[in-house]
Amino acid sequence: MLIYNTQSRKKEEFKPINPPKVSMYICGPTVYNYIHIGNARTFLMSDVIRRYIEYKGYDVKFAMNITDIDDKIIRQSIEENVPSSEVAGKYIKAFLEDMDSLKLKRATINPYATDHIGEIIDLIKTLEEKGFAYNIDGNVFYDVSKFKTYGQLSGKNIDDLESGARIEINEMKKNPLDFSLWKKAKEGEPSWDSPWGKGRPGWHIECSAMSCKHLGETIDIHMGGNDLIFPHHENEVAQSEAATDKHFVNYWMHLGFVNINEEKMSKSLGNFFTAREVLAKFPAEAIRLFFVQTHYRGPLSFSEELLSGAQKGLEKITNLAETLKLEEEKNSTSSVNPEFDFEKYYAEFEKEMDDDFNSPKGVAVIFDFVKNVNKVIADNESLHVEFVKKAKEFLSKTAEGVLGILHFDDLGKSKGASLEDELINLLLRLRAQAKEDKNYKLSDEIRDQLSGLGVQLKDSKTGTTFTIN
């Protein structure tokens, strides 16, 4: 199995530290708002990668942290006039709900930053004792000049970075590249006692402390979005390796952005759809298929038209799955067991996925399998129970187990719900057109009629979503 390692900039054979155990860490959300579909892509594709490694027989310990103290959370708490812990609690719940709705496997552990203040302080103390950190009036910074290989992950040149206009100027720092490990408490902000006085941790040190505690000082795989390579992951390397004198991560994996109109989807640009808005219109399996049809490292253009195309493609897989499920329930006594090379499809699927988790080609293998199994079904009045069992097993292990684009237990349940959603979305489109035509009477009538049926609408800048009571 080959993995593209950001640090070496090439594909490398995957050799776990302690097989069959594999340690994986992904930088989870900063919980100050609902995640958008671009965030969801990172988490969903990491889920597919984890599932495939498990499919290969490894025992994966998967940690996804929750950043529950941060400048953004504090700003949101001021805006909402509630404690920052309340903001974090609200959006942690929403995040986990969204992950469940997208059919992600729960992480082995979701460490929270605020539960690891002791470990964070110990790590900063170690860095200070070893000369990599310095305290200025209760603010502790990492001294980048002391870490000689700084820039090794991102490939950035320190001299260029120091002269770059994007570096934040802070008069307290010895060097503009130095970053915060501990921030002195400001009035009204949450804080903890420390050797440097009351304060709170910087963002980068949180991940190093949590990763080290739960997965060890050297881990197999660390993942995150491309935007985290620098400075977040670069800083994780610097502080972790300086503290432990050990190599921090064997395989760095970074996931591509979701774009809208050729711009990266982001909250700062305001060009985003939340995961729950998209889930209100499309089933999780269609969203997952849409994502896995693009390689995890590449950029992905988002549109409802493309998602609709994925949903239509998904029907080919689910139609076959439903046929196989019905055939299995029939328990046919047919003696005709058609020749079919199931092992060929397993080999092809694994060949593609072994090549840096090439899910688009893995999906193509599944569609080819569906096409040829359908031919066999069309050519035979009844099917041998063994053929049905093997065909169902292939889809169960690949489309369901690895890609998560099929769920045999849900077959037969989703069509009614899907039709209901489609009819509601049709009315929402008619309402949007009515509003555009300034036909507010019709727009209000559609809203009121839906409300009478238990469908509550919520209008926002990015569109209208609905919930069914």
pLDDT in tens, 216-256: 999 999 999 999 999 999 999 999 999 999 999 999 999 99
Residue 138 confidence (pLDDT): 97
CA distance 11 to 173: 38
Q: What are phi and psi of 466, to 5 degrees?
A: -135, 155
Kindly report, residue by residue over 141-155, the tens digit of the pLDDT.
Answer: 999 999 999 999 999
Please determine, for residue 413, whether its predicted confidence score (pLDDT) is greater than 70: no
Angstrom distances, CA of residue 46 to CA of 99, 232, 297, 433:
12, 18, 11, 38
In this model, does residue 460 exceed pLDDT 70?
no
CATH number given to 312-410: 1.20.120.640
* Closest to 283 (Cα-Cα) out of 256, 310, 317: 310
Using DSSP bridges, classify how beta strands 219-225 and 249-255 pair: parallel, antiparallel or unpaired: parallel
More confident site: 131 or 429: 131
Q: Within 10 Å of residue 435's Cβ, how many Cβ atoms? A: 16
What percent of the chain has a predicted confidence (pLDDT) above 70? 93
- pLDDT number for residue 414: 47
pLDDT in tens, 173-197: 998 899 999 999 999 899 999 999 9
Per residue in 333-379, pLDDT (tens digit) is: 677 788 999 999 999 999 999 999 999 999 999 999 999 999 998 89
Q: Please give the single-letter amino acid code of residue 257.
A: F
Q: Domain boundaries in the chain?
A: 17-264, 312-410, 415-468
- The H-or-E segment that residue 417 falls in is helix 414-436
- Residue 377: other Cβ atoms inside 10 A: 19
pLDDT at 417 over 60: no
Q: Would you state the structure tokens that stand for residue 209, as one six-digit string?
A: 């402390």
Instruction: Report, as an integer, the average pLDDT of 18-46.
Output: 97
User: What is the spatial distance between Cα 223 and Cα 26, in angstroms, rounded to a whole number?
Assistant: 5
Q: How far is CA 105 from the centre of its chain?
A: 11
Q: What DSSP state is assigned to residue 82?
A: S
Check pLDDT > 80 for residue 49: yes
Q: Closest Cα to residue 2, out of 47, 60, 56, 45?
A: 56
Length of the chain measured in residues: 469
pTM value is 0.86
Query: Half-sphere exposure of residue 455, counting CA atoms within 13 Å on the CB side?
Result: 17
Q: Has residue 164 got a pLDDT over 60?
A: no
Residues 6+ apart with CB under 8 A from 164: none
Pairing type for strands 2-5 and 10-13 reads antiparallel
Which run of H or of E encompasses 464? strand 463-468
Average pLDDT over residues 290-295: 98
β-bridge partners, 62: 24
- 199-226 in b/e burial notation, b at 16+ Cβ within 10 A? bbbbbbbbbbbbbbbbbebbbbbbbbbe
For residue 169, pLDDT beyond 80? no
Answer yes or no: CATH 3.90.320.10 is held by domain 17-264.
no
Same fold, 17-264 and 312-410: no
Q: What is the mean pLDDT of residues 288-303?
A: 96
What's the pLDDT score for residue 433? 82
